[in-house]
Amino acid sequence: MPQLMQDWFIEAMDSTGSAVGFRVRKKLEDVTTPFQHIEIYETTDFGNLMVIDGCIMLTGRENFFYHEMLTHPVLCTHPEIRQVAIIGGGDCGTLREVLKHPGVKSVTQVDIDEMVTRLSEKYFPELCESNQDPRATLLFEDGLEWIENQPENSLDLLIIDSTDPVGVAEGLFEHPFYKMCFRALKPGGVLVQQSESPLLHTALIADMQEKLKAVGFRSTDWLHFPQSCYPSGWWSTTVARKGGQLKLPYPPETINLKTRFYNREIHQAALAKPAFWRN
């Protein structure tokens, strides 16, 4: 359960016997929407902090690890990606990274809670600097309903930038949702989804891959990266391709992106699996 201890915000996780905390100066916002409880804090060392339903979502200092690794490994190795959709991602950091790729023609972001975006525009403006890009469309509706209504074979890339698999996001980790995603993707299309900690949630990552294959995705993989504000400080994304083998070769040296973490060497390291991983 989250708690404020003197000048600290602490997210304690009983299930893992661990906690993540940040020293804070003050609370900037406290908003309850029809979907969730959102808090914004000013920290002493990590910029602003967003908390949803007691769980740390992002900080201004190190969110780039997550946003870059959720997007660039696939976009740099699949140059034919033109039509992209993001389910979740209301802070707009993932949208910003996708739009760094000139080959992308359109990006539709679908988040159920508009307040996440409005608070991000106010407290994390650097994440929202591409919101007015003419290629971007921001929708505030249920991602499950949206993907169900998409034409078959209409998307090249589907990014699931969700919170943990509880509450409003629980359905984004289940068979019916994956089946709808598979239908909406073009042959050769790719799904990328945040998939929690490789240390704490190995069973979840394996379960996601089994479910993705069960609905028709031929091949899957996962990548890992540091993320200090999330449980264990180590996070992952799971990737699946519709038809054909999933390949994530090192991107060509000619790719020139303005990034803070992602590069060719990081791409290579993220594909390496820890010795304890069970395929």
Model confidence band, residue 3 (pLDDT cutoffs 50, 70, 90): low
Helix, strand, coil percent content, the chain, rounded in steps of 5:
30, 30, 40
Per-residue pLDDT at 250:
79
**Residues 6 or more apart in contact with residue 104 via CB below 8 angstroms:** 75, 81, 82, 84, 98, 135
Read out DSSP for 7-45? TEEEEEETTTTEEEEEEEEEEEEEEE-SS-EEEEEEESS
Nearest to 51 by CA among 70, 36, 69, 65: 36
Phi and psi at residue 230, in whole multiples of 5°? -110, 155
Active site residue 7: no
Name beta bridge partners: 30: 39
What domains appear along the chain, each with residue ranges and CATH number? 2-59 (2.30.140.10), 64-271 (3.40.50.150)
The residue whose two tokens read 């994530």 is: 248
Query: What digits encode the pLDDT tens for the residues 76-100?
Result: 988 789 999 999 999 999 999 999 9
CA dihedral 55, 59, 62, 67 (to 10 degrees): 70
Q: Phi-psi category of 243—alpha, beta or left, where left has phi over 0 and alpha has psi -120 to 50?
A: left
DSSP 200: T
Mean pLDDT of 163-189: 85
What tens digit of pLDDT does each residue of 29-68 get? 999 999 999 999 999 999 999 999 999 999 999 999 999 9
Mean pLDDT of the chain: 92
Hey, which bits of 33-78 come out as E strands? 37-43, 48-52, 55-59
The confidence score (pLDDT) of residue 79 equals: 77
Average pLDDT for 144-159? 96
- Please provide the DSSP assignment of 157-176 as one string: EEEEE---SSGGGGGGGSHH
Q: Which two tokens stand for residue 146?
A: 């949206």
Measure the CA–CA gap between 170 and 16, rounded to whole angstroms: 19
Flag whether pLDDT at 75 surpasses 60.
yes
d(CA 131, CA 116): 14
Selected catalytic residue, list 161, 164, 207, 221: 161
Q: What distance in Å separates the CA atoms of residue 101 and residue 81, rounded to the nearest whole number?
A: 9
CA distance 150 to 110: 12
